[in-house]
Amino acid sequence: MTPLLDVRGAVKSYGAVKALDRASLTVDAAEIVALLGDNGAGKSTLIKAISGVHALDAGTISLGGAAVAFRSPLEARAAGIETLHQDLGLFDNLSAVANFRIGRELRRPAWLGRLALLRERAMQEDWLVQLERLAVDRVDARQEVGLMSGGQRQAIAVLRAVAFAGRLVILDEPTAALGLRESAKVLDLVRRLPERGVAVVLISHNLEHVTQVADRAVVLRQGRTVGEAAPTAANHEALVSMIVGAVPRTAAGST
């Protein structure tokens, strides 16, 4: 079966620093893959390449069997890929609804193009429906996001990525700023995405969370894909070893 996403031999350098050094990653349709690795392992660089933020120096990315080279995030979005970046990409000066709909505002009449009037009420009603899916309390639709708590901000960013994804959603640390209860809700939302036919690439430092939702865990180290394993509780130790580079099978140097 052709994988939904197939990244091969990905190379990306920033000056003298090689962030990606022949990394690879495959994701099947409606599969949840955890992307693990220590800080600086190249996770964020890899997902930025997939989501069209920057281009690879070498290597290929195919989506549904066809090679793609996104020149902008807009092109990746058009192909059905949504991304939650680590910085959330929120607009502190805009309301929750405006953030949720940014770049995809409902408007009319169509012939006015980008000078068409915003359909605020319709966007707000839709927002309430989405909010219910994540069951986040106390997010005032009209309030500026800059005035909200870290958890509320993260919830808005997660919802935005998840709601509009057609084929693949990439989540970079979606539970980083969340408490226990809120994390559980986000994980629940992630787990239900395959039902909609949406695959997930999940980056998380929390192995507990990975175990709960991921079908497969892929480990990056120093820009390379160094292994993968089923994210079960029994495999935790093996995964941690791969992440930090003390690979048990080489025996030498590992304790």
The Cα–Cα gap between 70 and 8 comes to: 15
Tokens of 62: 């195919």
Q: How far is the CB of 231 from other proteins (least distance, A)?
A: 28
Piece of 10-18, 82-90, 196-204, 213-221 that binds other proteins (CB under 8 A): 82-90
According to the binding rule CB under 8 A, does residue 14 interact with other proteins? no
Axis-axis angle for helices 180-192, 120-134 (nearest 10): 100
**CA pair distance 204, 214, nearest whole angstrom:** 11
Please tell me whether residue 89 binds other proteins under the rule CB under 8 A. yes
Q: Does 149 bind other proteins (CB under 8 A)?
A: yes
Instruction: State CA 66 to chain mean position distance.
Output: 21
Applying CB under 8 A, among 26, 45, 152, 211 the residue interacting with other proteins is 152
Among positions 30, 68, 79, 116, the unique one binding other proteins when judged by CB under 8 A? 116
Residue 167 interacting with other proteins (CB under 8 A)? no
* Residue given tokens 């994701």 in the structure block: 27
Is residue 22 classed as helix, strand or coil in its secondary structure?
strand
DSSP alpha helix (H) spans, the chain: 43-50, 73-78, 96-100, 120-134, 150-163, 180-192, 207-213, 236-244
Which of 17, 135, 147, 244 touches other proteins by CB under 8 A?
A: 147
Window 168 to 187, contacts with other proteins (CB under 8 A) = 179
* Nearest residue (CB) to other proteins, 76 versus 187: 76
The binding site for other proteins (CB under 8 A) comprises 51, 53, 72-74, 77, 83, 85, 87, 89-94, 98, 102-103, 105, 107, 112, 114-118, 138, 146-152, 179
